[in-house]
Amino acid sequence: TQLLEQSPQFLSIQEGENLTVYCNSSSVFSSLQWYRQEPGEGPVLLVTVVTGGEVKKLKRLTFQFGDARKDSSLHITAAQPGDTGLYLCAGAQRGSTLGRLYFGRGTQLTVWP
């Protein structure tokens, strides 16, 4: 059973379009992180959200943590081919003291020129 469910699993869009990726759970998390992974490389952290309702912006990327801290979304405005990659959400559970993260299966985004 996957603790974090990401949707959609695959997303293929044209340059300039907007998109949203979702990360949902029935569990509460103390924090959620979003990573981006390119082929042949390890994931790289994009953002960490820790407060329910928190919104963070990173250029064209907007991240939101749900009020109940059970879900998160990633919105990309005017997608570019350079945004292509695997987007992973990861959550730290309350009470865990060792920085363990649980990952979703990821959303594979392809942006065509």
Partner 1 sequence: DAGITQSPRHKVTETGTPVTLRCHQTENHRYMYWYRQDPGHGLRLIHYSYGVKDTDKGEVSDGYSVSRSKTEDFLLTLESATSSQTSVYFCAISGQLKRANTGELFFGEGSRLTVL
The site for partner 1 (CB under 8 A) is made up of 2, 30-31, 33, 35, 40-45, 48, 50, 88, 90, 92, 94, 96-106
**Which residue, 17 or 100, has its beta carbon nearer to partner 1?**
100
CB of 47 to partner 1, least distance (A): 10
Nearest CB to partner 1, comparing residues 18 and 100: 100
**Minimum distance from CB of 3 to partner 1 (Å)?**
9
Report, in Å, the least distance between residue 94 CB and partner 1.
8
Q: Pull the structure tokens for residue 51.
A: 């407060």
